[in-house]
Structure 1
Amino acid sequence: MSANTTPRRALIVIDVQNDYDGGNLAIQHPPFRDSVVNVARAMDAAAAEGVKVVVVKQMAPETSPIFAKGSHGGELHPEIARRERDHYVEKSLPSAFAGTDLEEWLRANAIDTITVIGYMTHNCDLSTIIHAAHVGFAVEFLSDATGSLPYANSAGYASAEEIHRVVTVILQSRFAAVLDTAEWIDGLKTGALPKRDTIYASNQQALARNAA
């Protein structure tokens, strides 16, 4: 897609399920109560501007501690469940493309750009975005319509804020244009395209910042 071409977008709403809303996998940063409002705003803006909306849901066995089949935690959050959508995808792996018909549906609808929102920044969003970039889609990511949680494991510890911040910086360097919901909605109306960076430019800017 050239810089002068109007994107043919689809909004991909990933795994906005109850377990993230204070459940067994509670989102901490940005807080779920704030980010889910932006998810809803983006869905409403997409509908108003004729952007197709795809809702994705993570599926897990009945014995799983998260997203268990038939559980309240595994169901779509009410704000998402009550809104209209153009396509629905159920997945069992992090990427919304893996083992689903998402790519086929996007191609059939002549989509060249996907805007990713939902959860989590560092897992299903990250996987979906990298997958999309590898199969030729331009990607946008709304950093305030998503969120992360803290991890501690044999590799160390990272807070929710650290994980979210670092992943968004990495995405902006190569894989997606990172912006907030208000900027994205404004761009739908004005046609303004979001800023995209490169690995080299991102590194050069960091070196200049460190030298200052």
Structure 2
Amino acid sequence: MKRALIVIDVQNEYFTGALPITHPPREESLAAVLTAMDTAREHGIPVVVVQHTSPAGSPLFAAGGHSWELHEEVGRRPYDHLVEKTMASAFAGTDLAGWLDAQGVDTLTVAGYMSQNCDESTARDAHHRGLAVEFLSDATGTLALSNRAGSVTAEELHDHVLVVMDSNFASVATVAEWAGAVRSGAPLPRPNIWASTRGHA
């Protein structure tokens, strides 16, 4: 297997901007992201950093603004490829698929923000493209949502995404569990919709 780690949208918008991550606590999830990046570097796993970009003047991720910039701890670490995206999935309208294919990657490890939006969209796209997907539960995160359809806490939303991912689309693991698999060269347990639904019909 050939892994790549994708670090999605770890930008200032989620720390000092309009979308502060609350679960897991953003300093904890950031530390987990950085540990994953360091682990990948130590084991020769390519790292892709993704940066979401909106037009200048937009309320979120406005190009060139402070909130658009990568978090300094991510920006100062080495990475192998930078993807600038304008939609939720890191595959949409970018060169990501071609770059991963050129590197021989067959397993994509997802970290970054937000769990239910860009993380989940990228994971689903990767799955549908035939890649094995790993979703790092403590190196991803989100915030509470409330709209005409209802309200959900950040913890509920994040946990919901993890359950759905591990049912069919991605192997969910903590960074520590993933690092152990990396060191051993082993795959994580694969998602299993049958096992996830047994006894709940």
TM-score normalised to structure 1 length: 0.92
Distance 1:114 1:205, change over 3 A: farther
Letter in 2 for 1:122: Q
Does residue 40 in structure 1 map to residue 37 in structure 2?
A: no
Does residue 86 in structure 1 map to residue 80 in structure 2?
A: yes
Which residue of 2 is the match for residue 105 of structure 1?
99
Letter in 2 for 1:30: P
Does residue 127 in structure 1 map to residue 154 in structure 2?
A: no
**CA–CA distance in structure 2, aligned partners of residues 120 and 205 of structure 1:** 31
Q: 3-state SS of the aligned residue for 1:75?
A: coil
Calculate percent identity across the aligned residue pairs. Answer: 52
How many residues get paired? 201
Which residue of 1 is the match for residue 132 of structure 2?
138
Q: Deviations over 1:24-46 (max 9, x none)?
A: 10001001100000100000000
Among residues 101, 108, 111, which one is paired with 1:114 in the alignment?
108
Among residues 52, 55, 59, which one is paired with 2:49 in the alignment?
55
Q: 3-state SS of the aligned residue for 2:51?
A: strand
1:93 Cα offset (Å): 0.3
Which residue of 2 is the match for residue 197 of structure 1?
191
**CA–CA distance in structure 2, aligned partners of residues 202 and 159 of structure 1:** 23
Query: What is the root-mean-square deviation in Å for CA atoms of aligned residues?
Result: 1.0
1:128 Cα offset (Å): 0.2
Letter in 1 for 2:9: D
Show structure 2 runs of 5+ residues with no match. none
Among residues 51, 66, 83, which one is paired with 2:60 in the alignment?
66
Q: Deviations over 1:116-139 (max 9, x none)?
A: 000010000000000011111110
1:205 Cα offset (Å): 4.9
Q: Which runs of 4+ in 1 moved over 2 A?
A: none
Letter in 1 for 2:158: H
Does residue 188 in structure 1 map to residue 179 in structure 2?
A: no
Q: Deviations over 1:157-198 (max 9, x none)?
A: 000001000011000000000000011111111123212232
Distance 1:11 1:106, change over 3 A: same
Which residue of 2 is the match for residue 157 of structure 1?
151
Q: 3-state SS of the aligned residue for 1:143?
A: strand
Is the 2:165–2:191 contact (alpha carbons within 8 Å) kept by the matching residues of 1? no
Among residues 4, 24, 35, which one is paired with 1:30 in the alignment?
24
Among residues 157, 166, 189, which one is paired with 2:160 in the alignment?
166
